[in-house]
Amino acid sequence: MWSFLVRRLASAVLVIVGVVLLVSVLIHLVPGDPVEMMLGETAPAADRESLRRALGLDQPMLTQISKYFLQLVHLDLGESLHSQRAVVDLLAERIPATAQLAVAALLTAVLIAFPLGVVAAAYKDRMLDRFAMTLSTAGISIPNFWLGPILILFFSVQLGWFPVSGKSGLLSLILPAITLGTAMAAILARMIRASLLEVLTEQYVLTARAKGLSQFATLYSHAVPNALLPVLTLVGLQLGALLAGAVITETVFSWPGIGQLTVEAIHRRDYPVVQGCVLLISLTYVVVNTLTDIAYGIIDPRIRLD
């Protein structure tokens, strides 16, 4: 167990360093000057040079990146070029909103996907199966940047049931959660169906049916628990993406989360904030995937770490 955790942590550190380094190089290569965006194109050249020196932007790109990694060693993410606030504080303000949206979207996806997938597997190649798979195909095919505005136009503008955008209570969470959860539910439903169909052909399931166990009891007592492993993998990956910040959905609904902060920082060429957001996203994926691997051994007794 401990050797496994050490190996995973070592590989995680390499992945995080590689991702942050790549993003740091790419964002410096993208056209655009943070100083011009802060002062405007009509600002005097002397003022722009003075601010550039004060922010350390007059130094070579490799020097700036090296200083950033040196700060990371001391657990310092630096300060925003735009607001002069600590990046840690900016992230701390946005994490609760993203976590709230991620949990709501995940619950929405599971509540939709689990019954659809189970029903589709139990009634394979019958009307209910075709109906469930048609719904899942539609869910996968509809992009978030289209579904979000459609939901806003119908439920917010036409019916007035929910706020148009922003974070102002429980009602403002429903439409973004549905937008995020729909695509995830479609993928999960298909995965649950495929996994269940594979498990239902196993010998122990056929034996349970031969002994007189009902289809319902066989399905939920034997098949479903053993079909959860591949589903758990997908849920872990999707949860990592949700916690990292759903950029499109948060932008459409003006949801004050990590995704919206990342977009704002990219537009402003706010290098420390972009790097901090990417670092948080990388950490989220690594932690969620590691916890998913550990959960394998808890769900399935046959899986044990050397």
Catalogue the E-assigned strands of 17-163.
none
In sequence order, what are the residues at sequence separation of 6 or more whose Cβ sits closer than 8 angstroms to the Cβ of residue 153? none
N- to C-terminal Cα separation, the chain: 6
Give domain limits for the chain. 87-299
Among residues 184, 197, 178, 186, which one has the least CA distance to residue 118? 197
Q: Backbone phi, then psi, for 207, in 5-degree steps?
A: -65, -40
CATH code matching the domain that covers 87-299, chosen among 3.40.1010.10, 1.10.10.10, 1.10.760.10, 1.10.3720.10: 1.10.3720.10
For every one of its 306 residues, what pLDDT tens digit does the chain have, with 9 covering 90 and above?
566 667 767 777 787 778 778 877 777 776 666 666 666 666 666 766 776 676 676 777 788 788 878 877 777 787 887 778 888 888 888 888 888 888 888 888 888 888 888 888 777 878 887 888 888 888 778 887 788 888 888 888 888 888 887 777 788 888 888 888 888 888 888 888 888 877 777 777 677 677 666 666 677 666 777 777 777 777 777 777 776 657 788 888 888 888 888 888 888 778 788 888 888 887 887 777 777 766 666 666 555 555
Query: What type of residue sits at position 50?
Result: S
Among residues 276, 263, 285, 258, which one has the least CA distance to residue 98? 258
Among residues 116, 85, 148, which one has the least CA distance to residue 231? 116
